[in-house]
A and B are shown apart, each in its own frame.
Chain A
Amino acid sequence: RKEVEQDPGPFNVPEGATVAFNCTYSNSASQSFFWYRQDCRKEPKLLMSVYSSGNEDGRFTAQLNRASQYISLLIRDSKLSDSATYLCAVILNTGTASKLTFGTGTRLQVTL
């Protein structure tokens, strides 16, 4: 089983729509959780960290469910510029190093 799993999509949504992505992780000892955005042929850029209490940044809301080991990202009022691949990532501290492990990413295409 992969450490971090995501539905690859693509999710095709019209402008203004609300879209949600889920991500599951296999190791219950994972400590930190993130959503990254990656545009085509570019490096990933941190979108937001994810906390159990949930956190919101403008149109983006992230949530962590430790019991079920999943992370979600909700995008409200989608814009054309939101089109990208969204990667969830977790940090697992192995004792000698903490490693950031990525899911395969979910591709979002926002259309007119």
Chain B
Amino acid sequence: GAVVSQHPSWVICKSGTSVKIECRSLDFQATTMFWYRQFPKQSLMLMATSNEGSKATYEQGVEKDKFLINHASLTLSTLTVTSAHPEDSSFYICSARLLQETQYFGPGTRLLVL
């Protein structure tokens, strides 16, 4: 069964609104969670790495004020896309890992900004 869940699985919103995506690790405590973004026909690009209780580390080119990450517990991380615009439309995938063990991926959230 799934070990990482994401909610919602898809969302359509108007330009300018903020969208929150939740990522939960099921049956294990994730010391590290990762957020990826995938545009059509492209690879998964790592956006940020977050460790529970500390600030997320963003990859170069990813605006931390636009993509707010909160990793409040060992089983939950949230990504908020603030003031979303059409160019933010993408497939957002989280993954979770316990220490250096296998990294498990969530089912992804498809975001469409109109």
Contacts and interface: CB of A to CB of B under 8 A. Distances in A.
A97 B57 contact: yes
B108 A87 contact: no
B34 A100 contact: yes
B65 to A, nearest CB: 21
15 contacts: A41-B91, A41-B110, A42-B107, A43-B106, A43-B107, A44-B93, A44-B105, A97-B49, A97-B51, A99-B34, A99-B49, A100-B103, A101-B46, A103-B43, A104-B42
B93 A43 contact: yes
Interface string B74-112: 000000000000000001010100001011011110100
B46 A97 contact: no
Interface of B: 32, 34, 41-46, 49, 51, 57, 91, 93, 95, 100, 102-103, 105-108, 110
Nearest to A31: B100
Nearest to B94: A43
Given A43-B93, A87-B43, A87-B44, A96 B57 contact: yes
A105 B44 CA distance: 9
A87 B93 CA distance: 15
Interface of A: 4, 8, 41-46, 87, 96-105
A44 B110 contact: no
Contacts of B91: 41
A87 B38 CA distance: 13
